Amino acid sequence: MGIKYKYVIDGQVFQCETFDDLENYHDIVWLDCTGNDLSCLPILPAGLNTLYCDNNRLSGLPTLPIGLKYLDCSKNLLTVLPTLPNSLEYIYCFNNKLSVLPTLPNSLITLWCFNNQLSVLPTLTNRLITLNCSHNLLILLPTLPNSLDYLNCDNNLLAFLPKFGGNLKFKYYVSNPVVEYIEDKCDDNLKIYHRINEIFSLKLVRWYLDCRENPVYKFCRDRLNKEYDALIEEDTGGIMT
């Protein structure tokens, strides 16, 4: 049987074929079980801060230790991730079957979630520097933090791009529906694209206020109010009415 586990205790690297009671090895801080055809993991040591479990057949992960900082669970069969500890700084979960991500911890610096089935991303944290969410089913991106340095959102279904922060040095967004619009209507210029969106947003707000408040547009106002109130009642279950 090949070696399945490598682990670190007090700076020394050890290796073994199996852990029958891994949770009781409290001094283990680093664990590598990459590429062992594993379908599940045991309960993890409470003191673990680094976990490599990529290139397996995992369909789920156990509860993650509260002090975990680095997680590589890429190239598995995961459809969901467990709750992410607030200490986590690096997440590599690409090449899985994830359709949703849990709430991201405020400590997160790097997120690689490409080659999944994600249609939406959770709120991005203010410390995030690197984001690769390419080859998913994303229609929109959340607000991008000013800390972001690298973004790859290629090969999605994006019909809109948010504003890019001044610190963003590397940005890739090809093979998205919005690219054709930027190329054809905005002379392939992002500044023009974002300016058009700003103007459109202002016009939309003014149109909405006119339709809702201005008595000159009574028919438009009445129709808008009726549809708006119906949506509010539907979303709140009638609480607001």
Burial class (CB in 10 A: 0-12, 13-18, 19+), 73: buried
- List the domain range (segments joined by +) for residue 197: 193-236
116 lies in some domain: no
Does residue 211 lie within any of the structural domains?
yes
Total domains present in the chain: 1
Specify if 205 maps to a domain.
yes
List, for residues 131-186, the tens digit of each pLDDT value.
999 999 999 999 999 999 999 999 999 988 888 877 899 999 888 887 776 666 66
- Residue 132 covered by a domain: no
Q: How far apart are CA 177 and CA 188, in angstroms?
A: 13
Asked if residue 152 belongs to a domain, the reply is no
Residue 216 lies in a domain: yes
In a domain, 115, yes or no: no
- What is the per-residue pLDDT across 24-59, written as a single tens digit (0 to 9) for each? 777 889 999 999 899 999 889 999 999 999 999 999
pTM beyond 0.75: the answer is yes
Q: At residue 153, what is the residue type? A: C
- 207 found inside a domain: yes
pLDDT, tens digit, for every residue of 180-228?
Answer: 766 666 666 666 665 655 555 545 555 555 665 665 555 565 665 666 5
User: Which residue has better confidence, 53 or 22?
Assistant: 53
